[in-house]
Chains A and B, each alone.
Chain A
Amino acid sequence: MSDYLVKVSGIVKKYGGHEVLKKVSFDLKPGEVHCIVGENGAGKSTLIKIISGAVHPDSGEIFIMGRKVRNLNPRLAIELGISTVYQDTEVVDTLSVAENIFLGSEVPSPIPIVVNRRYQNEQAKAILKSLGISIDPDIPVGELPLVYKQVVQIAKALFRQSKIIIFDEPTASLGLEETKALMEIIRSLKKRGMGIIYISHYLKEIFEIGDRVTVLKDGEYMGTYKVSEVDTEFLVRKMVGREVHLFYKRERVPIGEKLFEVKGLSKKELVENVSFEVRKGEIFGIGGLAGSGRTELVSLIFGILKPDAGEIYIEGRRYVPKTPIHAIRNGICMVPEDRKRMAMFLGRDIVENSVVIINELLKVAFLRKKEEMNMTRRLINELDIVTSGFSQLIEHLSGGNQQKVVMGRWLLDENAKVFIFDEPTKGVDVGARERIYQVMIELAKQGKAIIMVSSDMPELLSMSDRIGVMRKGKMVEILDNKDLSEEKLLRSFIGV
């Protein structure tokens, strides 16, 4: 018996000719939170997938609780006491919340082969309660918004009372409340002597709950450190290889005349009488708790939902949202929040995924392949997209790089006037986040109006000129971003 719950060494993983993990070592002790940080595509998810049995390494050794395991697979890993929250929220839409939580480990009832539904539902309810929400465990998961799907995923990992829990960016699609609750839970798990592997791009969280941190860079092991002995600058330098400011200090852009205006926009049960305006060069942040209707609001503007009432003006001209293409033609761009469902063309390469919007706008009948390559190359360079080549399929990119591609496709539209970003930096590493912020500033400089929906408090505070606060479908307040503190903003979100 060793004192390590998990110990891996010399892990190598190749995809095609591309080596994504190069002799990586990692270990986890009981009662600690061991974080993994690194840029998008550094290999974090691949590493934890190897530990959870979802991916087979090409070489290297895995010890779990002192026992060497070969041919690890998810079933075996679960039996050995490893629970995993994967980065891509993988849930079964057609099964209920409780059924998802207990999937693969159904609780039998006294009657053989029959699942004990009542017990499962009760347990599910209890676990969700500890995460601060109360969801009817009988609801099909497909009917839940992304946040709660993620909560279900977390609940699924928690109920098993395993010895090791792996979290791969659990908070990327969580709201403030849920994040807080999760931090609380992780602390208590730690106290019970469990080992936790935690991946996040929010370094703040790492300093909040982490004990040790391992840095990966381009698949290479950069070292493991005690959290108490390092600081943000050090970590970032290790990850990115240069200075990056965690709290981004944006450049101020002169703000021009009114460009975009919403008056009394309403949609039954979702959005109520929302009015605001955005001026040229302005970044208008929209904040609020998860489920406050921010996504619905921007969906109304982009023509995905039909408003019941309200008017929208672009440069003083009335604009009636009809369909996304109509919005695009009117100069509105939108980067949706759920990239996998709403933005990624799986099975298609990054070129096709990049040029889809510009092709629509130019209405070209015949494709100009060379031009497309050039545009894609531009995006790859501008946004620092890590890819093995033009023909790489988008699902084979790391999560943050996928986000860059689906965002990049809008940047090719030079005539756009209004940019809507719904959670633009979800799952994006610190370095790349800075890139995206620079891009937004660049757009602002060009006199575009920018609407940024975000659940990331520092992001809202550092980027927005003004912040509209949504609560239960209403825009309750529009705050000038002067002397605003996180605390003050949060109060406004909650309404106390």
Chain B
Amino acid sequence: KQLVYGYVTPGPDTWYRKDVEGFLYAAKLAGVKVVVLNSDYDVEKEISNIKTLVDMGVDGMCIFSFNPNGPFIAARETARAGIPLVVTDNVGQVLKAKEPVVAAIDFDWDAMGKNIAQYIAKHWPGENIAFIAGRLEHVPVQVFLKAFKAEVAKLGKNKIVAIRDGKYIPDEAVRQVQDLIESGYDFTVLHIFNEEMAAAVVRWLKSRNLLNNPIKITSQNGAPYGIALIKEGSIKYSISSSPGWEGFISFLALHAYVTGKIKKERQWILLPVTPVTEETINDKTKVVPWDVDPVWIELTKKYFPQYIGLIDALK
């Protein structure tokens, strides 16, 4: 029987899109059809997308929601129709829902916060940190920030002097950094919540001759456009989190359940945290590519042995 899965994506931006591509890549290998519906950042459309997929009677559903409650609604609707559901990037919230979902797939934002704090403490002890967040209301930002603050305090080597909202807009991030510097904050380490914003800040700092003199930048995501900056030493440290691989794993989690390989529910699957530095930069197994890449198969086998059987069954 031809399996059909449904995928609800919040919008067309890079991160979400790479997640879809990863999911589709795995689906292609497994010979499963996928219907992708785009919510265009509209909560009501998202709900209607969920309903549309339920009406279509898909065999499984994956939802990536920008509304924290979206997965709960999906859980309710799919449970009613008996459709298995996996949820991407919800920081595990949905596992508390009444209705059981198959799995929540996430990056370990908490571990990332700790990891960055540790790197900074180890390499630049005694220096002050400024932090340019993504949207402060974004859950991963909050989880990361909480862990980061706690770890910095625990290690006691550094101090966070300012937190600003870059809103994921590079232009805004530059503005915030400019203002931070001019308003007399004393900091030499700048953590920026993604490499899009970091790239713009790097460009500006360079033009002002402040980059690595004294301001050093750390970032996260390991996005393709961040890699060049790490290679040239403009970004000192980053953490790899490939949405493509996340999508890939999301598919496997769903597929394993639908095909009866793994019948467990409420699984919390966290993707490993891999540091990105000048040394690891060329190692695809450490800096996981965002774009479709067979290395994902290898990585999956290494970090998620439970799927080995399933992967071997793929074409």
A–B proximity contact (CB within 8 A): no
